[in-house]
Homo-oligomer: A and B are copies of this chain.
């Protein structure tokens, strides 16, 4: 539990992982352009930290040598249930979090399926082994 906090107990770290899972973000630029507005030094620091904890991997884009690609590891993907539970909580208790009836139904009654959908969607879009 202390480890979870070391890894996730920070706003920006959390948002980075969320943007990877749900927006398919995998480049430095994409995180910077994301609506949250993270500072460049903070982003670099958090990406380094996440890589150190093996939650993400960093590699050169074979198509474009000046870009790097960030991808979630299995350990990172295993955070999907936790994040979905938090989204579910928001759906129930935060007026500003408006989720469709279908999504709420999945979260409330078919949680494991929801996890699988999010996971396989990520793997499809980010086509990594």
A106 within 8 A of B: no
Q: Does A128 contact B (CB under 8 A)?
A: no
Residue of B nearest to A82 (CB): B85
User: From residue A14, how far is it (CB to closest CB) to chain B in Å?
Assistant: 6
A 1-29 to B, binary, CB cutoff 8 A, 1 in contact else 0: 11111001111001100100000000000
CB contacts (< 8 Å) of A75 on chain B: these are 93
The chain B residue sitting closest to A76, CB to CB, is B93
A93 smallest CB distance to B (angstroms): 5
- Smallest CB separation, A11 vs chain B (Å): 4
Chain A 80-101 interface residues, beta-carbon cutoff 8 Å to B: 81-82, 85-90, 92-94, 96-97
Q: A residues near B, CB below 8 A? A: 1-5, 8-11, 14-15, 18, 75, 78-79, 81-82, 85-90, 92-94, 96-97, 111
6 further A-B pairs in the complex, CB-CB below 8 A; given A3-B97, A10-B11, A111-B111: A3-B96, A4-B90, A5-B11, A78-B92, A79-B89, A81-B88
